[in-house]
């Protein structure tokens, strides 16, 4: 059986058995936490060091990121109502619970009427913004349907909502048509910004190309979308250097919105076989908070989502993320009978809770 360390080639993630200057000593030899946090820019090595801090240094990191958040984005929380309108997907990503080859999924697609009704709910409850998310499909019928939905939603809500799409990789012309129809934000998660790790998370075929994923992000920016992306934290094979590179990638790419969450396994996926190499969930959670804090420090005014995966580990997970850097939440307003079927990972929270309950729970003090 492989150990955690043998599955990785860079700095071990927190929790690995041989890690430990960060548990028992000072991970900042020759440099104080104040000196590091006061730097104008951060190297890969700086970020790896910050990801390793514990104890008082960890507290100081979070205090600093909270001050940066207050200064640059304030305490305002942006609500983006999430409609998971279909779990049909032609991709076969090795980590995902709705991957094409998972035949245990109850596949569904909301009707146009159900989607527009949920959008009207968002507008009536002053969300201001809506996210339409689905599995990845590249068909003419799917593209035309999304185009029509965008127009129908804007008409039904008197253009009160800004709409974000999260519908995967598409040809540039499709992205352009959706933009012209009223979608001005697009979320396309990179999952890992490094080609080597990306390819370990996806089948090696033409439908899962790292090069194309990057091209789609570039196409979206060129068209004029506000572009969002994100990564998973605590993956098999992942090192602290990988995570540092992810943050530097998002800064270099000038991403507009970022969602980062702990990797949570699903038993009907190939990656589940490597569950013995994973950090304990609590350590994946803590590492995610550090990623959010460091991201807020290096991209001071970016929108950062407090993801649902945090809440799957800690009932107060999203609140904790909001305190140290996140400023966006996406309450799930998918009709309740469908929510349990959009299961990217196991133990997804909030599937039975009303959106208003979730909003109330997440309002900052």
Note the pLDDT tens digit of each residue in 315-354. 999 999 999 999 999 999 999 999 989 989 877 775 444 4
Q: For the whole model, what pTM was predicted?
A: 0.90
Residue 49 included in any domain: no
Q: Is 21 part of any domain?
A: no
What confidence score (pLDDT) does residue 333 get? 97
Of the chain, the percentage scoring pLDDT greater than 90 comes to 83
pLDDT at 29: 62
Query: Is 236 part of a structural domain of the chain?
Result: yes
259-275 mean pLDDT: 96
- Provide the residue range defining the domain that includes 332: 67-362
What pLDDT is recorded for position 8? 47
| CA atoms in the 13 A half-sphere facing the CB of 228 | 22
What's the pLDDT at 152? 98
Cα distances (Å, whole numbers) of residue 160 to 38, 128, 251, 305: 41, 7, 30, 21
Dist CA 234 CA 169 (whole Å): 24
Q: Does 286 map to a domain?
A: yes
Contact 168, 137 (CB under 8 A): yes
Residue 53 inside a domain? The answer is: no
In total, how many domains does the chain have? 1
Cβ-contact 213, 253 below 8 angstroms = no
Question: How confident is the model at residue 348, as a pLDDT?
Answer: 78
What confidence tens digit (pLDDT) does each residue in 134-150 have? 999 999 999 999 999 99
Residues in the chain: 365
Residue 24 domain-assigned (yes or no): no
Q: Tell me the mean pLDDT in the region 74-81.
A: 93
Contact 329, 318 (CB under 8 A): yes
Query: In which element (H, E) is residue 81 found?
Result: strand 78-86
What pLDDT is attached to residue 17? 38
Residue 94 within a domain: yes
- Please give the Cα distance from 74 to 170 (Å, whole number): 35
pLDDT in tens, 273-293: 999 999 999 999 999 999 999
| Residue 32 is assigned to a structural domain of this protein | no
| DSSP character string of 103-126 | TTS---B--HHHHHHHHHHHHHTT
**Residue 5 reports pLDDT greater than 50:** no
pLDDT (0 to 100) of residue 278: 97
Q: Indicate which CATH number applies to the domain containing 102.
A: 3.20.20.70
Task: Give per-residue pLDDT as tens, 240-251.
Answer: 999 999 999 999
pLDDT, the chain, mean:
90
Q: What is the pLDDT of residues 15-48, one digit of tens each?
A: 453 333 333 345 666 678 999 999 999 999 999 9
Query: Who contacts 221 (Cβ-Cβ below 8 Å, separation ≥6)?
Result: 227, 253, 254
Q: What is the pLDDT of residue 352?
A: 44
């Amino acid at each position: 059986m492989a150990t955690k360390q043998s599955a990785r080639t860079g700095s071990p993630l927190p929790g690995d058995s041989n890690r430990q200057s960060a548990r028992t000593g000072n991970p900042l030899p020759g440099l104080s936490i104040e000196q590091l946090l006061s730097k104008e820019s951060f190297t890969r090595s700086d970020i790896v060091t910050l990801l390793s801090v514990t104890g008082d240094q960890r507290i100081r990191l979070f205090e600093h990121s909270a001050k940066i958040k207050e200064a640059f984005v304030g305490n305002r929380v942006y609500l983006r109502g999430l409609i998971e309108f279909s779990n049909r997907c032609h991709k076969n990503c090795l980590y995902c619970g709705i991957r094409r080859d998972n035949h245990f999924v109850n596949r569904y697609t909301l009707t146009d009427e159900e989607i527009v009704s949920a959008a009207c709910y968002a507008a009536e409850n002053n969300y201001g913004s809506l996210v339409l998310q689905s599995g990845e499909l590249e068909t003419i019928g799917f593209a035309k349907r999304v185009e029509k939905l965008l127009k129908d939603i804007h008409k039904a809500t008197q253009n009160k909502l800004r709409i974000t799409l999260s519908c995967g990789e598409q040809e540039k012309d499709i992205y352009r048509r959706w933009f012209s129809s009223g979608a001005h934000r697009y979320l396309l998660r990179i999952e890992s910004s490094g080609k080597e790790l990306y390819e370990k998370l996806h089948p090696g075929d033409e439908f899962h190309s790292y090069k194309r994923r990057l091209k789609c992000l570039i196409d979206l920016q060129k068209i004029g979308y506000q572009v969002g992306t994100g990564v998973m934290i605590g993956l098999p094979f992942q090192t602290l250097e990988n995570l540092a590179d992810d943050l530097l990638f998002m800064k270099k790419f000038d991403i507009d919105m970022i969602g980062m969450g702990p990797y949570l396994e699903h038993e009907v996926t190939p990656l589940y076989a490597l569950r013995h190499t994973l950090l304990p969930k609590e350590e994946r959670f803590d590492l995610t908070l550090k990623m959010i804090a460091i991201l807020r420090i290096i991209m001071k005014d970016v929108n950062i989502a407090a993801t649902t995966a945090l809440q799957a580990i800690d009932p107060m997970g999203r609140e904790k993320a909001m305190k140290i850097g996140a400023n966006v939440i996406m309450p799930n307003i998918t009709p309740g009978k469908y929510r349990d079927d959009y299961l990217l990972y196991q133990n997804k929270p909030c599937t039975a809770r009303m959106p208003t309950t979730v909003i109330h729970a997440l309002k900052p003090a």
